[in-house]
Amino acid sequence: MIQESIKNENKLYFFPRENNLEWLRLIFALQVVITHAASHFTSAIEIPDFISNFPGVPAFFFVSGFLIYSSYINSPGNDYFKNRFLRIFPGLLLVTLGGGAVILYDQGFNSLLRNYYTFLIWFFSQISLGQAYNPELFRSVGIGVINGSLWTITTEVIFYLIIPIIVWMEKRFRFVLMVLITFSFLVYTIGPLVLDIAVYRNKSIFDLLSLTPLVWGWMFGLGIIAVKYFTKISKFLKLAPLCFIPLVLMIYQGDGVLFQSSGNRLGFLYFLCYAALILWFAFWLPVVPLSFDISYGAYIWHAPIINLLFILNFPNMSMAILLTLFMATLSWFLVEKPMLKLKHQSLRQI
């Protein structure tokens, strides 16, 4: 089996290059698309409740911790930042233009001429680190926010930026990763209770922190641990399906910071079981190659599509999913794939 080599201070961390992670990312993205479309549109097909028990966003954070840490260890410096930029921002620019087109279709071109400053601020917010910015002017469009799902892009990009700092700290301070994970989980757990003071447009301090890895960093951190200790973990992956037993019990009886089983705010023990199943699916099951990757496009395009269908007064869930997949395919072949050809291959084969 082809292996990936990740070198850090003479340590080698291995994980199979041939895996099902691309399928997993597509499944995660479709979970988000279906969940959001179902929450806004009616459908002749009833969406099973259990879909909410396998949320895409926490899974994305875990896999990002696994892969992005690996990427930086293999290719620190300019190549790392170049690769991250090429993966995220070309597609983000395209969907921002698409979101802008939806706004103009609803409000007319005169709205741009009268409020060009608002449009400009919104545009640069969307393609930088202000994806959560939602001006009052746009709140009458569709569902009230053009692309609310992009808040996770802010969190992801900040995580990309602090990975070099984490690696630097690991070289100088023992157990720093465990300290960071613990601190993040404390913020995640206690934050809603003690940081609930509204500071901006009825948003609390915790709401603002939820756009950063301070809240979600423990999920990324467990992904980092998974790749650092993958050689040991892989010996037990065949037993990972046993995690379905406690996972099902938590789905029916679980709640709170340890056992919460639905939505993005998963309980710690539930998330551990979920992460184990992710690793099992990715690295233990037979590998089925996927020649394209529309997961990112599906994730970032589904909200503008939902808004467009609202404006057209055509609230059809199936159409929302089909149009999302269509735009994701265009994004992949016209923008993302050509840009990825410029990447430096940071995960070297040995």
Rg (CA), the chain: 20
Consecutive H or E run containing 6:
strand 3-8
The residue that leads in pLDDT, 345 or 209, is 209
Residue 346 lies in a domain: no
Asked whether residue 5 carries a pLDDT value surpassing 90, the answer given is no
Residue 24 lies in a domain: yes
Q: What average pLDDT does the segment 6-15 reach?
A: 49
- Nearest Cα neighbor of 332 from 297, 290, 300 is 297
Summary mean pLDDT of the chain: 91
Asked whether residue 236 carries a pLDDT value surpassing 90, the answer given is yes
- Nearest Cα neighbor of 16 from 89, 70, 88, 76 is 70
Residue 349 lies in a domain: no
Asked whether residue 322 carries a pLDDT value surpassing 60, the answer given is yes
Identify the pLDDT of residue 185: 98
**Local structure of 200: helix, strand or coil:** strand
Asked whether residue 11 carries a pLDDT value surpassing 60, the answer given is no
Cα–Cα separations (whole angstroms), residue 316 to 42, 104, 268, 319, 334: 7, 22, 36, 5, 27
pLDDT per position as a tens digit, 285-301: 999 999 899 999 999 99
Identify the pLDDT of residue 49: 83
Contact 82, 343 (CB under 8 A): yes
Residue 347 lies in a domain: no
Q: What average pLDDT does the segment 174-181 reach?
A: 95
Asked whether residue 10 carries a pLDDT value surpassing 80, the answer given is no
Degrees, nearest 5: CA angle 72-75-79: 100
Residue type, 226: A
- Nearest Cα neighbor of 61 from 169, 189, 220, 177 is 220
The residue that leads in pLDDT, 278 or 17, is 278
Residue 235 lies in a domain: yes
Residue 345 lies in a domain: no
Asked whether residue 316 carries a pLDDT value surpassing 80, the answer given is yes
Identify the pLDDT of residue 43: 66
Confidence of residue 254 (pLDDT cuts 50, 70, 90): confident
Residue type, 64: S
What φ, ψ does residue 6 adopt, rounded to 5°? -120, 115
Asked whether residue 6 carries a pLDDT value surpassing 50, the answer given is no
Identify the pLDDT of residue 256: 92
pLDDT per position as a tens digit, 136-171: 999 999 999 999 999 999 999 999 999 999 999 999
Confidence of residue 46 (pLDDT cuts 50, 70, 90): confident
Asked whether residue 348 carries a pLDDT value surpassing 50, the answer given is no
pLDDT per position as a tens digit, 98-141: 999 999 999 999 999 999 999 999 999 999 999 999 999 999 99
Identify the pLDDT of residue 345: 58
pLDDT per position as a tens digit, 329-343: 999 999 999 999 987
Residue 221 lies in a domain: yes
Asked whether residue 8 carries a pLDDT value surpassing 50, the answer given is no
Identify the pLDDT of residue 15: 80
**Does residue 32 come out as left (phi exceeding 0), alpha (psi in the -120 to 50 range) or beta?**
alpha
Identify the pLDDT of residue 350: 28
Identify the pLDDT of residue 44: 57
Identify the pLDDT of residue 74: 81
Q: Which residues constitute the domain of residue 297?
A: 3-340
* % of the chain beyond a pLDDT of 70: 93
Domain count for the chain, please give it. 1
Residue 311 lies in a domain: yes
Q: Pairing relation of β-strands 3-8 and 11-16?
A: antiparallel
